Structure 1
């Protein structure tokens, strides 16, 4: 359960924004979307490798 303490006099929109940010970091929605359709383990592995290559290329460009 996500708990967001609201400070005295704090704007409700700001508290909602903090809640949404925390909720997004938990990855619940992402996991829910992944579970809606089955993907073969080979395809999952392939996408992980592509993602790793992409991140590695980004890090090389920074250097």
Structure 2
């Protein structure tokens, strides 16, 4: 559970902004989305391979 201490005289909007930023950094949102729908292991593997190929292509273009 995330806790954000609100400082004295601090605007609640500012505290909410800090909370949202901290929430995104903890990757809780990604985990919730992954658990929402089942993906087959073969589909996950294929996505990882495609991402690796994409990154490798970018690195190859950088070196040219």
Task: Provide TM-score, normalisation by structure 2.
Answer: 0.70
Partner of 1:33: 33
Deviations 1:5-62 (A, max 9, x none): 2122111101100001111122222212212222111110111222233344455666
Flag structure 1 segments of 5+ consecutive residues without an equivalent.
none
What is the aligned length?
Answer: 63
Q: Name the counterpart of 2:21.
A: 21
Listed as ranges, the gaps of 5+ residues in structure 2 are none
* Larger-Rg structure: 2
Pick closer, same or farther for the CA change 1:55–1:22 going to 2, 3 Å. farther
Scaled by the length of structure 1, the TM-score of the pair is 0.71
